[in-house]
Amino acid sequence: MEAVVGLLVMLLGVSHGIETHCDGRQNETQCYGALGGTVVLQLMDNASEIFRYLWYKNKNLKIVDGRKDKIVSNEMKDRSVFTPSNGTFRINNLSRTDGAEYTLETFKPNGHVSEQRTLQLSIQAPVSSVLLDSECLSQGEMRVSCSSEGGDSPQYSWTLDGHTLTDAQLLSGNNETNNITLKQDVSGLLVCSVRNHVSNVSKGEKISTCGFIFINCTLPDGTNISQWVFSANNTTPTMIMITDTMASNVDNSLLVSVLRAVVALSLLGGIAIYFAWKKKKYKKAETSTRPRIKDHPENSFEMVEL
């Protein structure tokens, strides 16, 4: 009978999508199924040892009614099959409406409930594809974004050459975000993985540095340069710093020339002042050596003649 039911299900059409498995033998188990795919739920060990069992959807819709190894009814028989010998319930072509709380009740021969368990089935769309996009920034950093098509509640992770991407390699972002910025010296095979509870898809890309090199040197004037520069550009920050230093040297030379001119003018002015003072002093001395002619008539020439 089981083989016939299983064959009918196969003939009616079974999704060839993603198949997931979940062990629901513990109470309040969380299970996941892929949209359009198949889920196999382990409800019990062996139904043939149970007098009667009922399986409900949302506590009010009876899905399966069975007695030992005989299935009395299955409301989802067009796309599901229950196998009493191993206690599994297989649902194909999953839709969003299949996501619900399911309850299993087992009964003793006297009609009393022997056990009651629930499980929660969630349906997720699987991730279909992953796309990587990268761009170089102004200082040689590389921004990389990872996007996916489809996929409910996607989670991201990154690896570089097979190893988990570390904080030392990241300028911003972290290993669980879809947008990251790599430092200037990071290169290798970068892989972004996108996953949820029903799928896992990865995309890798070989990346290299953005053409920047690290300069660490000391100029003749003692200026230290330690920075990333674009190797293909002749007008690097290093050249700019050298030009600034040369300009500073030119300014110093001009200042020295001005100071020299001031000193020379001061010296010439001092010499001129000295000679003017000397000339004035000479004239004063010459005037003091001439004889004086007194105004008193007794000392006049005529008086002496008489």
Domain match, 62 and 18 both:
yes
Domain match, 138 and 174 both:
yes
CA torsion sign, 56 to 60 to 63 to 64?
A: positive
For residues 243, 247, 250, 251, the Cα torsion angle rounded to the nearest 10 degrees is -160
Which tens digits make up the pLDDT trace of 186-240? 999 999 999 999 999 999 999 888 876 656 667 667 676 655 565 555 444 433 3
pLDDT band at residue 142 using 50, 70 and 90 as cut-offs: very high
CATH number for the domain harbouring residue 183:
2.60.40.10
Rounded to an integer, the average pLDDT of 138-146 is 90
Q: What is the pLDDT of residue 235?
A: 44
What six digits make up the tokens of 63? Answer: 């899905």
For the chain, give the percent of residues with pLDDT over 70: 69
Domain match, 278 and 198 both:
no
- Name the domain boundary from 164, 185, 210: 210
DSSP state of 294: -
pLDDT band at residue 185 using 50, 70 and 90 as cut-offs: confident
> Residue 136 pairs with which residues in a beta bridge?
142
DSSP state of 4: H
Residue 148 has pLDDT above 60, yes or no: yes
Q: What is the pLDDT of residue 227?
A: 57
Contact 157, 224 (CB under 8 A): no
The DSSP H or E segment spanning 74 is strand 70-74
Tell me what the pLDDT averaged over the chain comes to.
80
Least confident of 48-62, 135-149, 278-292: 278-292
Q: What is the pLDDT of residue 6?
A: 40
Q: What is the pLDDT of residue 3?
A: 38
Domain match, 270 and 228 both:
yes
Q: What is the pLDDT of residue 282?
A: 63
Rounded to an integer, the average pLDDT of 161-165 is 94
Residue 3, phi then psi, degrees to nearest 5: -65, -35
Rounded to an integer, the average pLDDT of 30-55 is 95
CA 214 to mean position of chain CA atoms: 22
Domain match, 100 and 141 both:
no
Give the span between the Cα atoms of 242 and 247, in whole angstroms.
9
Which tens digits make up the pLDDT trace of 54-113? 999 999 999 999 999 999 999 999 999 999 999 999 999 999 999 999 999 999 999 999
pTM over 0.75: no
- Name the domain boundary from 75, 90, 124: 124
Q: What is the pLDDT of residue 254?
A: 58
Q: What is the pLDDT of residue 229?
A: 60
Residue 28 has pLDDT above 90, yes or no: yes
Residue 293 has pLDDT above 50, yes or no: no
- Which structural domain range is residue 30 located in? 2-124
What six digits make up the tokens of 202? Answer: 């990865």
Q: What is the pLDDT of residue 219?
A: 67
Domain match, 27 and 98 both:
yes
Domain match, 110 and 139 both:
no
Domain match, 174 and 90 both:
no
Q: What is the pLDDT of residue 5?
A: 37
Going by C-alpha positions, the residue among 301, 16, 282, 36 that lies closest to residue 151 is: 36
Rounded to an integer, the average pLDDT of 40-66 is 94
Domain match, 190 and 240 both:
no
Domain count, the chain: 3
Counting Cβ atoms within 10 Å, is residue 295 exposed (0-12), middle (13-18) or buried (19+)?
exposed
Domain match, 91 and 156 both:
no
Q: What is the pLDDT of residue 47?
A: 92
Residue 258 has pLDDT above 90, yes or no: no
Sheet holding 100-107, edge to edge: 29-34, 113-124, 100-107, 52-57, 61-67, 70-74
Contact 187, 179 (CB under 8 A): no
Least confident of 112-116, 236-240, 252-256: 236-240
Residue 305 has pLDDT above 50, yes or no: no
Angle at 187 between CA 181 and CA 192, to 5 degrees: 60
Which residues are CB-neighbours of 172 under 8 A, at least 6 positions away?
180, 181
Domain match, 238 and 297 both:
yes
Largest CA distance in the chain: 189
More confident residue, 289 or 241: 289
Domain match, 118 and 191 both:
no
- Name the domain boundary from 67, 101, 124: 124
